[in-house]
Amino acid sequence: MKSIEIKELSLSFGEVKVLKQLDLDIGDGEFLVLLGASGCGKSTLLNCIAGLLDVTDGQIFIKGKNVTWEEPKDRGIGMVFQSYALYPQMTVEGNLSFGLKNQKVPKAEIAQRIERAAAILQIEPLLKRKPAELSGGQRQRVAIGRALVRDVDVFLFDEPLSNLDAKLRAELRVEIKRLHQRLENTMIYVTHDQIEALTLADRIAIMKEGSVQQLADPHAIYNKPVNKYVAGFIGSPGMNFIEGAIETGRKTTFQTDGIKIDLGNYEFAEEAKSGKAIFGIRPEHVVVGAEVASQPYKTTVEVEVVEPMGSDTLVWSKLQNREFRFRVDGQSDFEAGSKVKIGFDPLRASIFDAASEVRI
Amino acid sequence: MAIEPRGTRPGRMLDPTRIMIYGVLIVAAVYYLLPLYVMIVTSMKGMPEIRLGNIFSPPVEVTFEPWVKAWDTACTGLYCEGLKVGFWNSVQILIPSVIISIMVASVNGYALANWRFRGSEVFFTILIFGSFIPYQVMLYPLVILTRELGIFGSLYAVILIHTIFGMPILTLLFRNYFASLPQELFKAGRVDGAGFWGIFLKIMVPMSLPIFVVAVILQVTGIWNDFLFGVIFAGTKNFPMTVQLNNIVNSTQGVKEYNVNMAATILTGAVPLLIYFLSGKYFVRGIAAGAVKG
Amino acid sequence: MDSARPNPYFRNLNAKAAAVPMVLTTLVVFVGCSIWTVVYSFSASRALPINEFVGFAQYDRLFSTSRWTKSVENIAVYGVTSLIFSLVVGFILAAFMDQKIRFENTFRTIYLYPFALSFIVTGLVWQWILNPTFGLQQVVRDLGWESFTFDLISGRDTVIYALLIAGIWQGTGFVMALMLAGLRGIDEDIWKASRVDGIPVWKTYLFVVIPMMRGVFITTLVIIASGIVRLYDLVVALTNGGPGIASEVPAKYVYDFMFARGNVGQALAASTVMLTTVLIILIPWVYLEYGKKKQG
């Protein structure tokens, strides 16, 4: 069953089109992450779903009900904000109960719901404190609690972890996932952090310039990006792109000056055609040393800069005068200026049409 | 060999530049303080001493007679009831004007910061523009308007006029302040089901105490010091303190009693001065917030 | 149950209802009253406004009245002098205050307190200090300098300086406070950079800091200027326009013709000239501000 349906949603601020005829279906109990660079419209979309922004055109359905012009409070949603947005003059308890009081929920039930939410989030000892007396992590828990007590079907998260330091972010990430497994309600989560997206999501919607580029599970997003933008956006450092051309003949190959890659095992979406193309391979799919021998494609690169990162080492090199990055084991040792043998399997590559930048 | 720092040692109290700086600041301070000093010493002298002595010399015989006279019996041309009448008139004008103007302007600022509607920015621009229009341009039509409303020459008229002319600066002040609060709080309030007034009263106002203090200071000093609106709109029996002060001092009848005049002047300046000295940084913040951010 | 798109005019009705006082004020007072004044400045109104329009007759009379031309001259002299003086002195005081001095709060309190006072109070104090019989002049004469003359108030050509002394006394502290706020808003790193580059402090102020404070200067300028046009209370308290018409100002001209002399047409023509002056000051400013926003 669909939890949320978005039909041809458009939003313009004056001349600027922020959302362009966007369609999106979200299943019941699904964890959907809206991922994109800043300004791609992901937060705008979330605000539209919440009812905090008036849409220009299109419809939003939640649980089958058209809520396009409903007030936020009537949509059956709870929302968690980046800056926590806790009411500073109220205690934690006051923050949790404010929405329920506005809904005229009976006192006994308010107390009961707060107790339950506080237990789930382990914030019972904090109930009488003011937000200013809480740490960043505690505040974010309270903010989640405020959504929790509303007893709603849909949770909206607007970059909830961006204001926290790296360690706390990792902890709360797991906690949000645990919460989702426990509550099994629909969650829409906006972030620009691909690690958050890949770790949390059932499905990820990658957005650019107000429209969804790809909507798929994290595995597919990573392995089968639909276009060059998605391929480049996911992964750190980004995918290596080499411009050249596909030659079909006795063997299908990708060629450019000094490079010829046999595409024998690459899974083309349709039958391969000759023409200009872009070949993409992720840095972490490149191997060195003894493993090179087993790879279908082998070549030599010249090392320029080595960045040891502890568990891995990132190497910036030149492949036939093209910038080429690869990521190898942290124990590997390279010297700038040296020549290194590398190899990879074209099966793991992504190839895009040069003009449309769509995966072929 | 010991390593010694070279060059002049920074931050020493007695280098020539600093002496010059302090010198200028102190001379300026004397210029600013002089009138206050003259006011006080004059108000505590008897008339014979004023006629003979010098305005800067401290009183030989301290007397508070002039203060009593200024408050109680000084003549404003027609009546000899002192400044106390003006004081109470000013209080009667001040309290409702401050409360109403701040209530209206804070709601304006909130609506402009958080509930923009089509045209709201246009009205705001006109409002700010309007604050620069000389009052003289709008005086006569406002006289007609208040006369039509049947309130000309009454406290209601002055209160209305203070609310109108306080609106631009106060609205700007509140709008900027509310806009500087995190927008997400407002959004959270909406998700929590609070409406226009709910968000304003339960979320925004409790967070905005400092700006209300600034607004009160701004309005109390501004309205207390007003002369023009009081003289035109209040009606003779409601003349505020500033108008009565001017009438006492500049009335051409009788012998000039400079000591009483100065006592009356201090009494009229006392309320805003008190506010000023008590509020300290808030006062500076008030005038700076209105001006620099605009 | 589908929710239909609501009529945008009825959305957020509470917010619109709350804005009614503001809308009324802008439309009725700021726009309406100003237009009314401009329109009736072309009428032959005497004690009461009448609908007999006489073109520019009121303006012809206005500019041939010596009291008005003197008022304009006064406000021009007063305006230019006090603008320059308060900006320069205000900035210098602020720059000195910004040198991490001791007792900063005390100094600021002293410089700013006159601003909390009514113009009436200011006018009366200075009237007393400048009083030729008992004031400053007499004090110096008593010290032995018998011929000392410092009688600004009763001289036709000097009375404007009395207004200036009082006006500057009241207003410079305010300019200083604005300038100080502007100086404090400047990034500390600018000062560090100029020290590393070995630029003298006065040069940094002149060529780096002041250009950076352009916005503060312009805003201050507009605020003082629009205050100057309104100058009224101070004149009433200090000189009441005298001696003769030597210290008359436009705002007082308007008031007197409107309420004392019963010549509304003249008053409205004079206030329209004031309005025009303010617009001439204001429009370039708005243009600058708006242009700045457009550039982002």
pLDDT score of A286? 92
User: Is residue C181 pLDDT above 90, yes or no?
Assistant: no
Q: Is the distance from CB of C36 to CB of B141 less than 8 angstroms?
A: yes
State the pLDDT confidence band at B106, using cuts at 50, 70 and 90: very high
Contact B190 A87 (CB under 8 A): no
Point out the residue among B32, B120, B133 whose CB comes nearest to the CB of C19. Answer: B120
Contact C271 B139 (CB under 8 A): yes
Q: Cα B133 to the chain's mean position, in Å?
A: 19
Place of tokens 């370039």: C284
Q: Is the distance from CB of C113 to CB of C173 less than 8 angstroms?
A: yes
- How far off is chain B from C296, nearest CA to CA, in Å? 16
Question: Mutate which of B192, B204, B212 to test chain A, going by most A C-beta atoms within 10 A?
Answer: B192
Helix (H) or strand (E) holding A59: strand A57-62
Contact C1 A65 (CB under 8 A): yes
* Cβ-proximal residues to A152 (8 Å cutoff; 6+ apart), any chain: A76, A77, A78, A185
- Closest-CA residue to B125 (of B136, B116, B134, B137): B116
- B258 CB neighbours in chain C (<8 A) are 128, 131, 134
- Please state the φ and ψ torsions of residue C154, each to the nearest 5 degrees: -95, 0
- B209 CB neighbours in chain A (<8 A) are none
The domain limits of chain C are: 64-295
Point out the residue among B111, B118, B137 whose CB comes nearest to the CB of C274. Answer: B137
Contact A66 C5 (CB under 8 A): no
- B245 CB neighbours in chain C (<8 A) are 120-121, 124
DSSP string covering A87-133: -TTS-HHHHHHHHHHHTT--HHHHHHHHHHHHHHHT-GGGTTS-GGG
pLDDT score of C3? 52
Closest residue on chain B to C276 (Cα):
B133
Contact C5 A69 (CB under 8 A): yes
Point out the residue among A50, A87, A102 whose CB comes nearest to the CB of B193. Answer: A102
pLDDT score of B284? 75
Question: Mutate which of B191, B202, B205 to test chain A, going by most A C-beta atoms within 10 A?
Answer: B191
- How far off is chain A from C1, nearest CA to CA, in Å? 7
Place of tokens 């700007």: B172
pLDDT score of B202? 93
- How far off is chain C from A33, nearest CA to CA, in Å? 27
Contact C6 A69 (CB under 8 A): yes
- The string of pLDDT tens digits covering residues C81-139 is 999 999 999 999 999 998 888 888 889 889 989 988 999 999 999 998 988 888 888 88
- How far off is chain A from C3, nearest CA to CA, in Å? 6
Contact A52 B194 (CB under 8 A): no
The angle at the Cα of B287, spanning B286 to B288, to the nearest 5 degrees, equals 95
pLDDT score of C293? 54
Question: Mutate which of A44, A102, A104 to test chain B, going by most B C-beta atoms within 10 A?
Answer: A102
pLDDT score of C83? 92
- How far off is chain C from B1, nearest CA to CA, in Å? 28
pLDDT score of C8? 66
The domain limits of chain A are: 2-229, 240-353
Q: Would you call B202 an interface residue with chain A, using a CB distance cutoff of 8 Å?
A: yes
The Cα diameter of chain C in Å comes to 97
- How far off is chain A from C84, nearest CA to CA, in Å? 43
- The type of residue at C105 is N
Q: Which carries the bigger pLDDT value, residue C148 or residue A55?
A: A55
- The string of pLDDT tens digits covering residues B234-274 is 988 899 999 999 888 887 666 788 888 899 999 999 999 99
Contact B185 A87 (CB under 8 A): yes
pLDDT score of C35? 94
pTM: 0.86
- The string of pLDDT tens digits covering residues B132-170 is 888 999 999 999 999 999 999 899 999 999 999 999 888
CATH topology of domain A2-229: Rossmann fold (3.40.50)
CATH topology of domain A240-353: OB fold (Dihydrolipoamide Acetyltransferase, E2P) (2.40.50)
pLDDT score of C34? 93
| Residue B87 to residue B39: CA distance in whole angstroms | 19
CB pairs under 8 A between A and B: 58
Contact B24 C36 (CB under 8 A): no
pLDDT score of C94? 92
- How far off is chain B from A3, nearest CA to CA, in Å? 19
Contact C97 B25 (CB under 8 A): yes
- Please state the φ and ψ torsions of residue A9, each to the nearest 5 degrees: -80, 125
- The string of pLDDT tens digits covering residues C13-72 is 888 888 899 999 999 999 999 999 999 999 988 888 888 888 898 899 999 999 999 999
Average pLDDT over all residues of chain C: 86
DSSP string covering A173-202: HHHHHHHHHHH--EEEEEES-HHHHHHH-S
- How far off is chain C from A69, nearest CA to CA, in Å? 6
Contact B192 A98 (CB under 8 A): yes
pLDDT score of B218? 86
Q: To which CATH superfamily is domain B84-292 assigned?
A: MetI-like (1.10.3720.10)
Task: Supply the CATH classification number for the domain C64-295.
Answer: 1.10.3720.10
Q: Would you call C296 an interface residue with chain A, using a CB distance cutoff of 8 Å?
A: no
Q: ipTM score of the complex? A: 0.87
Residue A22: both structure tokens together: 């966007």
- Least confident window among A125-139, B43-57, B191-205: B43-57
Q: Would you call A54 an interface residue with chain B, using a CB distance cutoff of 8 Å?
A: no
Contact C4 A65 (CB under 8 A): no
Contact C129 B55 (CB under 8 A): yes
Question: Mutate which of C5, C12, C14 to test chain A, going by most A C-beta atoms within 10 A?
Answer: C5
- C31 CB neighbours in chain B (<8 A) are 126, 130
Neighboring chains of A (3 or more beta-carbon pairs < 8 A):
B, C
pLDDT score of B142? 94
Q: Is the distance from CB of B76 to CB of B240 less than 8 angstroms?
A: no
- A5 CB neighbours in chain C (<8 A) are none
pLDDT of chain A along its 360 residues, tens only?
688 999 999 999 888 889 988 999 999 999 999 999 988 999 999 999 999 988 888 999 998 889 988 888 888 899 999 888 999 999 999 999 999 999 899 999 999 999 999 999 999 999 999 999 999 889 999 999 999 998 888 999 999 998 888 888 998 999 999 999 998 899 999 999 999 999 999 999 999 998 999 999 999 999 999 999 999 999 888 899 999 999 888 888 998 888 889 888 888 888 888 889 999 999 999 998 888 888 899 999 999 999 988 888 999 999 888 899 999 888 878 888 899 999 999 999 999 999 999 998
Q: Would you call C4 an interface residue with chain A, using a CB distance cutoff of 8 Å?
A: yes
Contact C116 B221 (CB under 8 A): yes
- A69 CB neighbours in chain C (<8 A) are 3-6
Point out the residue among B184, B198, B203 whose CB comes nearest to the CB of A83. Answer: B184
Residue A203 pairs in a beta bridge with A32
State the pLDDT confidence band at C2, using cuts at 50, 70 and 90: very low
The domain limits of chain B are: 16-63, 84-292
- The string of pLDDT tens digits covering residues C75-96 is 999 999 999 999 999 999 999 9
The angle at the Cα of A290, spanning A289 to A292, to the nearest 5 degrees, equals 75
The angle at the Cα of A226, spanning A223 to A228, to the nearest 5 degrees, equals 95
- The type of residue at C21 is P
User: Is residue C1 pLDDT above 50, yes or no?
Assistant: no
